[in-house]
Structure 1
Amino acid sequence: MDALREAVDEVAARTGFSGVVRVDVAGDTEICSAYGFADRALEIPNTVETQFGTASGTKGLTALVVMALVERGTLELSTTARSLLGRDLPLIAGDVTVEHLLAHRSGIGDYLDEDALDDITAYVMPVPVHRLATAEQYLAVLDGFPSVFPAGERFAYNNGGYVVLALLAERASGVGYHELVRTLVCEPAGMVDTAFLRSDELPGRAARGYLAVDGLRTNVLHLPVLGVGDGGIYTTASDLHAFWEALFAGRIVGADTVREMVRPRSDLPEESKRYGLGFHLHATGDEVWLEGYDAGVSFASSHTPSTATTVTVMSNWSDGAWPVVKLLGERVS
């Protein structure tokens, strides 16, 4: 792996990568390296124990919360959103189910339509970001978006759908979303350094998210102050390794549920992948991954059960991760 490590070092130096790279193969950690600064102003370096934002990587944990509630009988895949929303979000069609939302096949309008964004660092929140810290508070930004196609018709990646799932999980269980993630996912997985952190009071071990390859401007005004459902959790490379091991060992949800979640619901040949319930899937193989991209955050973590290979790249600037992700995609199977 010396040649691969040298290649990662070269790409990191050439592209201004800031973050952590970890590669594990068959139980051995082949690469675990940190680059750049967690705090540029104070020149505090990233370490392999730094906590990074994951943006949409959070969706996989939300999906696991929902599926854990399905296992407990609190929800069903066939549960309609309307049955729990009552009068809230009236533009969500009556036949939209939990399964539709998990699979990005709901057809509901999206409060954050990434296809309409020319610049990931654009200001997109219609309310002050400090007002977005709980699932119920997100009702203010989720409302008013008409359906774009009938439920189940096709795949369309949808951020708002995962915030709706967080809201449904809360209402069905009577427990707050952040607490559900902690108790149903993080604790059974042994993810001791994973948590939802407020962007305006990050602890010392958390990396600030920067908009560009250089400069001091962070993402604190661009993202909700506390993520719910579709993004916002912070974690470490070590915790992600623990996550994949726990997931495929059946310690978060049962083995049958895991198989259901990684069963393809949509084939996306234009992106050379498929999609299950909360997880991206390789077009033909058994690789499963989470990824996230937002102002100040770029992240990907994958696991291939057949080769026991886990690859994680976490960066604290908007486009930092992608050159390293591309390299490892070409070099690590």
Structure 2
Amino acid sequence: MDSDSVRGIDRRRLVKWGGLAAAAGVVAAGAPLAGARIGHADSSGHDRIPPDTQPGGAYDRYVAKLAAEDKFSGVVLLAYQGRTVLSRSYGMADREKGIRNHEGVAFNLSSGSQPFLSVAVLQLVQQGRVALSDPVGEHLTGFPKEIADKVTIHHLLTSTSGLDAPMPDWQRVFHSREEVHEYKEQWARQATLVGVPGAGSNGHLPGGGVGLAMAALIVEAVSGMTFWDYVHQHVFGRSGMSGSAFYTRDQWLTDKHIAHPYMLQADGSLVDAVRNLDKGSLDPNTQGRNPGRGFIGYASGDGFATAPDLVRFAEALRDGTVLDRPYVDLFAGAKLPGPEPTSYAAYTMPISIINGQWVIGRGGGAGGIGANWSIYRDTGWVGVILSNCDGAPLLDICLREAEAVTGAPVNPPGGG
């Protein structure tokens, strides 16, 4: 198998399992620190800075080698207790304008932005305005009785609603926020109940992600704000994420602080997705899709963030800024078993025990896009990987990050 095929498998694994927090297959010896809170450093030596995380260390050298071989374009960052330990940027954010990637560049997170929806919902839970046990019909009208009465918010956030819907039209080019919102609302109302709510994951169904659109509509109905405005004000704003947003395609084309995704084509060339809406990705997991067509992301993904902003988000969770501590624990707690022996499902994200540490976070991938952010909740480490070019071995980068932070090898999914 050639190296390009291997990189394709890495991307499919990352997309399928949601990133590092779901991808680690084997845990090294050591009891999990189940009682520790996000960012809490214990007294067992976990508060030291491992040499492999530092500039010039193994992780730094590995990513630099990938970049030198033209296999990585983007930003990697490691932070400990809110302070940057390693930050590296490679490649171009906009090749046409000659703008290089750097810390202040925002990258499309694809589905890596889904946890922001969960935080928004849990803020409303914390305020007593919704309950996770509320059925859809408690806050939204016009849905069939079997959905309105039986599907709860908890089901929506864990992808156990039993809902399916027609596949989204990935070829459609949207032109305004209003058009996107109307489409997402109509899509949610096309959902049908094909399974028993709470019985198991429906994330494998073609339209199984429709529940996230419903959850966003509930945020809007309860708060009186659009999903975008609510997340900008109450998640990004409260976390100090000044470079993060649900940017529109117009902003993507004009703002020099937003990275353009570059998609591999059949002839081996790379094309700017945002400037070539007629072209799609060759990646098998997102065949023919182009992230620029959507105009603006919504609940299921395509929010943008800078690497330092994702560290700020982790700090806002750690210090109780964005959610009170009990609700942070609720956000980060295991709800269902995951695809690997030590992985679990939380709200819109996987969590895992990696080398004796709880890790939460989310990965995402699309044409020209690869992202992963991980919070090592027992020790206060945060790792961010943001890529804007097809071909990066994202799964392997994630595993190398985990090895550097935890100080022990991490086997890939399936132990291979």
> Normalized against structure 1, the TM-score is what?
0.88
1:210 is matched with which residue? 262
**Quick one: which amino acid aligns to residue 80 of structure 2?**
V
Post-superposition offset of 1:39: 1.0
Root mean square deviation of aligned Cα: 2.4
Summarize the Cα distance change of 1:140–1:131 in structure 2 as closer, same or farther, 3 Å threshold.
Answer: farther
**Quick one: which amino acid aligns to residue 188 of structure 1?**
R
CA deviations over 1:258-312 (Å, ceiling 9, x no partner): 1111121111143751111133201463111122112232100011122211100
SS of the counterpart of 1:170? Answer: helix
**Quick one: which amino acid aligns to residue 100 of structure 1?**
H
Q: How far apart, in 2, do the equivalents of 1:138 and 1:250 lie?
A: 32
2:229 is matched with which residue? 179
372, 396, 399: which one aligns with 1:326: 399
Q: How far apart, in 1, do the equivalents of 2:393 and 2:73 lie?
A: 8
Unmatched segments (≥5 aa) in structure 2: 1-53, 278-289, 407-416
Post-superposition offset of 1:321: 6.1
**Quick one: which amino acid aligns to residue 309 of structure 1?**
W
**Quick one: which amino acid aligns to residue 251 of structure 1?**
T
Summarize the Cα distance change of 1:22–1:111 in structure 2 as closer, same or farther, 3 Å threshold.
Answer: farther
How is 1:112-261 mapped onto 2 (pairs within 5 angstroms)?
A: 124-125=169-170, 127-130=172-175, 133=178, 134-157=180-203, 158-202=208-252, 203-212=255-264, 214-219=269-274, 221=277, 222-223=290-291, 224-261=294-331
Summarize the Cα distance change of 1:200–1:112 in structure 2 as closer, same or farther, 3 Å threshold.
Answer: farther
CA deviations over 1:200-249 (Å, ceiling 9, x no partner): 33211101122228522315633321111111211111111111011121
**Quick one: which amino acid aligns to residue 125 of structure 1?**
W
Q: How far apart, in 2, do the equivalents of 1:60 and 1:8 lie?
A: 26
Unmatched segments (≥5 aa) in structure 1: 114-123
Post-superposition offset of 1:83: 3.0
**Quick one: which amino acid aligns to residue 276 of structure 1?**
A
64, 70, 77: which one aligns with 2:125: 70
2:139 is matched with which residue? 84
1:59 aligns with 2:114: yes
Q: How far apart, in 2, do the equivalents of 1:111 and 1:241 lie?
A: 36
Summarize the Cα distance change of 1:226–1:269 in structure 2 as closer, same or farther, 3 Å threshold.
Answer: closer
2:104 is matched with which residue? 49
1:99 aligns with 2:154: yes
Q: How far apart, in 2, do the equivalents of 1:252 and 1:131 lie?
A: 29
1:288 aligns with 2:343: no
How is 1:11-26 mapped onto 2 (pairs within 5 angstroms)?
A: 11-14=66-69, 16-26=71-81
Summarize the Cα distance change of 1:214–1:49 in structure 2 as closer, same or farther, 3 Å threshold.
Answer: farther
**Quick one: which amino acid aligns to residue 31 of structure 1?**
L
**Quick one: which amino acid aligns to residue 254 of structure 1?**
D
Q: How far apart, in 1, do the equivalents of 2:300 and 2:378 lie?
A: 29
Summarize the Cα distance change of 1:256–1:98 in structure 2 as closer, same or farther, 3 Å threshold.
Answer: same
**Quick one: which amino acid aligns to residue 241 of structure 2?**
M
Q: How far apart, in 2, do the equivalents of 1:205 and 1:42 lie?
A: 12
Q: How far apart, in 2, do the equivalents of 1:65 and 1:183 lie?
A: 10
Q: How far apart, in 2, do the equivalents of 1:103 and 1:32 lie?
A: 33
Q: Given that residues 260 and 272 in structure 2 are in contact (C-alpha distance below 8 angstroms), is that contact kept between their aligned partners in structure 1?
A: no
Post-superposition offset of 1:318: 4.3
**Quick one: which amino acid aligns to residue 150 of structure 1?**
V
Post-superposition offset of 1:11: 2.4
1:32 aligns with 2:82: no
Q: How far apart, in 2, do the equivalents of 1:262 and 1:185 lie?
A: 16
Summarize the Cα distance change of 1:88–1:20 in structure 2 as closer, same or farther, 3 Å threshold.
Answer: same
Q: How far apart, in 2, do the equivalents of 1:269 and 1:290 lie?
A: 15
Moved more, 275-284 or 165-174: 275-284
Greater length-normalized contact order (CA 8 Å, ≥ 6 residues apart): 2
Q: Given that residues 336 and 344 in structure 2 are in contact (C-alpha distance below 8 angstroms), is that contact kept between their aligned partners in structure 1?
A: yes
2:376 is matched with which residue? 304
1:3 aligns with 2:57: yes
1:117 is matched with which residue? none
Q: How far apart, in 2, do the equivalents of 1:97 and 1:169 lie?
A: 14
CA deviations over 1:146-168 (Å, ceiling 9, x no partner): 33321100123343221211111
Summarize the Cα distance change of 1:145–1:211 in structure 2 as closer, same or farther, 3 Å threshold.
Answer: farther
Moved more, 168-177 or 150-159: 150-159
Post-superposition offset of 1:172: 1.8
Q: Given that residues 82 and 311 in structure 2 are in contact (C-alpha distance below 8 angstroms), is that contact kept between their aligned partners in structure 1?
A: no
Q: How far apart, in 1, do the equivalents of 2:234 and 2:300 lie?
A: 17
Q: Given that residues 91 and 144 in structure 1 are in contact (C-alpha distance below 8 angstroms), is that contact kept between their aligned partners in structure 2?
A: no
Task: Provide the identity percentage.
Answer: 24
> Normalized against structure 2, the TM-score is what?
0.72
SS of the counterpart of 1:216? Answer: strand
Post-superposition offset of 1:90: 7.5
**Quick one: which amino acid aligns to residue 3 of structure 1?**
G
User: In terms of Rg, which structure is larger?
Assistant: 2
Moved more, 145-154 or 235-244: 145-154
